[in-house]
Amino acid sequence: MNKSTGRLVLASIASLALFAAACGDDEGAKEEATTTVADVTTTAGADEPTTTVEEVIGGEVFVTGSSTVEPISVLVGELADANTGGALAVTVEGPGTGDGFAKFCAGEADVADASRKIKDEEIALCAEAGIEFIELEVAIDGLTVATSPANEAVTCLDYKALYALVGPEAEGFSNWTDAQALATELGSTSAAFPDADLVITGPGPESGTYDSFIELAFKKIAEGRGTDPKSARNDYTQSPNDNVIVEGIEGSDSSLGWVGFAFFAAEADRMKAIEIDKGDGCVAPTVETIADGSYPLSRSLFIYVSANALADNPAVGAYIDLYLSDEGIASVAEAGYVDLPAERLEASRTTWADATA
């Protein structure tokens, strides 16, 4: 545990320590009974109990960025509130990774949630504003391409089919069959597309989920075709909010969209995950396939901490200490995402410890 974690004091610690003291010598002898929990020490003598507690770190922390990472940061914020009796207040919003970095690099946020790594142009923005940051990997996600359970004709798509449906050359395709000729030209081995309305709902360019999907699924195809390798088609319903995307996917029997795995898992009875074929066969997104990397659209999730805010606001350090503690990192699975392997979690903890040494 990082050295500052114990500052987040559970409300029950004092009573726990006093209970331990009361369970000491039945004769009420003068010798002291001492209980230490994290950085909290209670010493009780026979005459009068005295409790010494390291000061609870309070204050406010503002987190912005990815709506995918948002549920994890919210849960950790709730832990901070509970562990400090409301002294540490964390506000979390999810306008999208790109919009979050814009605020973060302008010095308007303490922490940026991100569903992709920070881009070179965003690093430049931070540098111009004098904002230094600490990058911490916190979880693994599997971008989930989904449709309605009623869409029985579509069960697996390869990268070439995804490009034909969602890439920049798909502009204007309003029926699944409109993409068939392009998919065939590219050499897709996916099954024939159904004759049904193609109703797409997905993230827009402000979202890290948008960037990650293009990067993983069809950037290389776009480069080979001479089209924009950073762009999808523009004529679909776009939102930075995963919940809105979920509603769109659920709202049509012939829908298509993509969201973070946690948002799919929470609605798995109303959505159908489409298996993805990278060339080695169709793989469904599950906790196991995302964790071992066999699911082709697996990606890392990050938080970026402002070193400037860390220096000025002790509450930021207390919040990140809790985030990386065993208690805090349990929020990853609770939110529906996949835990980092032990060595990668330890790497993040080491990075944080070095930054706060």
pLDDT along the chain (357 residues), means of 10: 34 31 36 28 36 66 97 98 96 97 98 98 98 98 98 98 98 98 98 98 95 97 97 96 95 97 95 97 97 96 98 98 98 97 98 97
């196991």: which residue's tokens?
288
Q: Which CATH number fits domain 144-296: 3.40.190.10, 3.40.470.10, 1.10.3210.10, 1.10.8.60?
A: 3.40.190.10
Residue-level pLDDT at 55: 65
Contact by Cβ (8 Å): 108, 100: no
Ramachandran angles phi, psi of 317, nearest 5°: -65, -40
Q: Which CATH number fits domain 60-139+301-356: 2.60.40.10, 3.40.190.10, 3.20.20.140, 3.10.450.50?
A: 3.40.190.10
- Specify which residues 40 forms β-bridges with: 37, 53
Ramachandran angles phi, psi of 105, nearest 5°: -75, -10
Tokens of 283: 């793989």
Amino acid code (one letter) for 237: T
DSSP string, 22-86: HTS-TT--SS-EEEEETTEEEEE-SS-EEEEEPPP--EEEEEEE-TTTHHHHHHHHHHHHHHTTT
Where along the chain do its domains lie? 5-53, 60-139+301-356, 144-296
Residue-level pLDDT at 56: 79
Q: How far apart are CA 111 and CA 303, in angstroms?
A: 7
Q: In this structure, are strands 282-283 and 275-277 parallel, antiparallel, or unpaired?
A: antiparallel
Please choose, from the candidates 260, 305, 329, the residue with its C-alpha nearest in 3D space to the C-alpha of residue 62: 305
- For the entire predicted model, the pTM comes to 0.82
304: exposed, middle or buried (Cβ count in 10 Å: 0-12, 13-18, 19+): buried
Contact by Cβ (8 Å): 62, 77: no
Residue-level pLDDT at 14: 31
Residue-level pLDDT at 174: 98
Query: Would 60-139+301-356 and 144-296 be classified into the same CATH topology?
Result: yes
Tokens of 19: 């209970």
Tokens of 58: 């309070």
